[in-house]
A = this chain, B = another copy of it.
Amino acid sequence: MGKKMNNWRADFPILAQKVNDEPLVYLDNAATTQKPLAVLQTVRDFYENDNANIHRGVHTLAQRATERYEQVRQKVTDFIHGNDWHEVVFTKGTTEALNWVAASYGATHVKAGDEIVLSYLEHHSNLVPWQQLAKKVGAKLKYIELTADGQLDLQSAADLITDRTAIVALCHASNVMGVVNPIQAVSQLAHAHGAVMVVDGAQAVPHLPVDVQELGADFYAFSGHKMLAPTGVGVLWGKLALLNEMPPLEFGGEMIANVGLYETDFKEVPYKFEGGTQNIAGVIGLGAAIDYLQAIGLEQITKHEQELISYVLPQLQAIDGLEIYGPQDPSLRTGILSFNLTGLHPHDLASALDMDGVAVRAGHHCAQPLMNYLGVSATARASFYLYNTKEDADLLIKAILDAKEFFLNGSC
């Protein structure tokens, strides 16, 4: 497997470098992924041939740019199995998308006394917007518990989701423990009680096939930069009827039908949300990233990550004093692993791994409530993606053992 994957590796020039005199092992993919040449080249090609502002122009470049931009809307629709391209709103990223749902849909539909149900797994981006909303309108937050091995506790979900629930907001996959949540089951609970189902797909769309309709999502958000696309672009997908009910939040060029001195009419969905010049090249780059992912196949990517995790997890489990958070069964995870070495702060561990060329993240991963739930202040996190190999896994293990030796057995 590892070897065959190296075909894709060649598409990512950044990986072929040394860091601290060691070959780079990039295992920080949950934070952001690297970009294949096809994406870089598409963006470059756009700027060198077709760059113009979109929608407003009669001239040839403006037509070409508009067409390239709008084609991506259809591409995204197909990719996540939406129903209609009007449901695809381009945003800066997942954070902006979720904020818009809370500040627009939420602020106009959630009332005092309503409940918003989240889980302990949530990233701050799918948590703080709801805290703010709850404060503003006088709603109440509830948190779905986790099972002992770190999976979403469906019984707790069933207990918490009631007729008082207005919104259920849940990540499709956790950015800390890699667990994939049973969105379909939770959606059914939400809908049975008349609640709206908001899904944070930032850690799912890059890694597994997503069908927003099958999942029963009402809103679904994700980021381009975590799925091979440029920074500064993301998607808010929403059911048309719900998007139609949402007031826009950013007012200005191109989201407007008519502006008087004191009154303004807005355009239809999705344009009413896209005020001002958008990240045009970013959207076009996102289209190229989707093409690249689809050419490989999402099933193939899931399988590859599964194989890597199955390979590395037992080796990590064998390291004395290494605690791994979340399910210990590889089949319950995406390519994300969070862990701590007893007696060593994850920042120290990450610095040590970096000396061996291994890039992992250390910290709370924007999931402080989960950290508290796990009873830690931080973890180290290694996250694998399609271009990682068994050799990368081997180098991770070796680097952890080196660090352990250095810090805990007093080799310095």
User: CB within 8 Å of B: which residues of A?
Assistant: 13-14, 17, 19-20, 24, 26, 28, 31-32, 34-35, 40, 43-44, 47-53, 56-62, 92-96, 98-99, 103, 123-129, 131-132, 134, 141, 143, 223, 225, 230-233, 249-254, 256, 258-264, 275-282, 347, 350-351, 353-354, 358-363, 365-366, 368-369
Contacts of A126 in B (CB 8 A): 252
Instruction: Provide the bound-state CA to CA distance between A40 and B230, in Å.
Output: 13
B61, A26: Cβ atoms under 8 Å?
A: yes
A230, B141: Cβ atoms under 8 Å?
A: no
Given contacts A32-B53, A51-B35, A52-B359, contact A262 B131 (CB under 8 A): yes
Which residue of B is nearest A92, CB measured?
B92
Instruction: Provide the bound-state CA to CA distance between A52 and B35, in Å.
Output: 10
Contacts of A360 in B (CB 8 A): 59
Q: Which among A19, A276, A281 has the greatest number of chain B C-beta atoms within 10 A?
A: A276
Contacts of A256 in B (CB 8 A): 124, 128, 366
- Give the distance to chain B from A228, nearest Cβ to Cβ, in Å: 11
Q: Which among A57, A251, A280 has the greatest number of chain B C-beta atoms within 10 A?
A: A251
Instruction: Provide the bound-state CA to CA distance between A357 and B258, in Å.
Output: 30
Given contacts A62-B28, A359-B59, contact A96 B250 (CB under 8 A): yes
Which residue of B is nearest A369, CB measured?
B261
Contacts of A366 in B (CB 8 A): 56, 252-254, 256
Contacts of A254 in B (CB 8 A): 366
Instruction: Provide the bound-state CA to CA distance between A360 and B94, in Å.
Output: 35
Q: Which of B34, B253, B282 contacts A279 (CB 8 A)?
A: B282
Given contacts A132-B251, A359-B61, contact A92 B232 (CB under 8 A): yes
Please state the number of chain copies in the assembly.
2
Contacts of A49 in B (CB 8 A): 14, 17
| Given A125-B276, A232-B278, 18 new contacts (CB under 8 A) | A17-B49, A32-B51, A35-B47, A40-B47, A60-B359, A62-B359, A95-B251, A95-B252, A98-B252, A99-B249, A124-B253, A128-B252, A131-B251, A230-B281, A231-B280, A231-B281, A232-B282, A279-B279
Q: Which of B56, B124, B232 contacts A251 (CB 8 A)?
A: B124
B60, A19: Cβ atoms under 8 Å?
A: yes
- Give the distance to chain B from A139, nearest Cβ to Cβ, in Å: 11
A354, B59: Cβ atoms under 8 Å?
A: yes
- Give the distance to chain B from A386, nearest Cβ to Cβ, in Å: 16
B354, A14: Cβ atoms under 8 Å?
A: no
- Give the distance to chain B from A141, nearest Cβ to Cβ, in Å: 6
Closest CB pairs A-B (n = 4): A95-B276, A232-B279, A125-B252, A95-B252
- Give the distance to chain B from A259, nearest Cβ to Cβ, in Å: 4
Q: Which among A49, A259, A281 has the greatest number of chain B C-beta atoms within 10 A?
A: A259
